[in-house]
Structure 1
Amino acid sequence: MSIGFGAPMSSITHSSLPVRRRTEPSDPTMPVILEFQWPSTAIANAPVPRMARGMVWIISSMVVALITLSGLIPVDQVVSTRGLVVSQSPNILVQPLETAIVRSIEVREGQRVRAGQTLARLDATFASADLAALTTQV
């Protein structure tokens, strides 16, 4: 079997076919026209680079992915309201007779204590300073 000028079909290969690439129509007057335009017009008329188009696609797809993930991932909800805590027993005021710095706390939360038990140790700096001032006055 022969095609055209007598060449057998098996002798036609893809490498012998001309490859046409899609190109934008070129305007021969474009460089001359741009010479009399603002410099920004040349930038505006320049073709968009492939890298810039690729970045737009990447950023757009990331935004879509993040919006999709924000709709699919469960989020804990925090609810706040006003309220009043009421104690069943009367409040107990615990304070030292003199101003002092707490050096150590001898009890833990929830621990039962007895009368006379040491709850905290205070620094004696203020008390000794007051004592020294009173002794000099006497």
Structure 2
Amino acid sequence: MKLPTLNPADPDPLEFAPPLLRLQESMPNPLGRTVLKVLAALLGALVLWALIGRLDIVAVAEGKLVPHSYLKIVQPAESGIVKEILVREGAVVRSGQTLMRMDTLVADADAKSLEAEHRRKRLSLRRIDAELANKPFRVEAGDPAELAREVEAQYRANRAALEAALAEEKSRLVKARHDLSSAEQVRAKLLETLPHYREQDKAFERLAKEGFAGGIMASDKRRERVEKEQELKTQDFIIESARAGILQSEKKLAQIDSDYRRQLHAER
């Protein structure tokens, strides 16, 4: 019996089979097996590293190194750059022997900065002493020219600011004293003339009652007397206000000088 030959162009019968049968007859995907092998290899490597590996703990802390041998580890007090090492590890050294040479570039820069700051501070102290003593600031021989000009400019600026504040408050004090003097003069004049207005008021009031003067004239004299009495009270208030202004200006002048000196002491 001769079997029928299949034409390569004929469709695969599994394509028309049910999904379950098609899944059962198809070859499994090799990717899953590869992933499983890789995971198993990684797990084995992890177990092997856990059995034979060692974990080093790195900690950072500040302190002094204490060696367990006779070798002395030299630690500098300040960080720097080593220019030259004159000994080898394990060599025997003597007391006072030079072990290494440091690069002095940074140290020289720091020294110059400290020296400049020292000179600036010294000039500033002289400026403060001159301001506290109300004396001029004088440049001495040997003072750096640039620093001396800077400190002298600061001295002049501080004195100018102080004198401006004092001059402004002194002008208020002079005005308050002038107002007080004027008010006292007006008050003295009112005290001299007020009895005359009171006598006129009483006289015209008596004449009006006796019929020798009109009521309008008596009313005018009464009004003049009342106005002068009110002016006297007003001058009393002006005098009290001027005295309060004088007291306030004097306190303000003392406060300006006190604040100025307190700031100078704080700068020291």
TM-score by length of 1: 0.41
Name the larger-Rg structure.
Answer: 2
Structure with the bigger percentage of strand: 1
**TM-score after normalising by structure 2:** 0.25
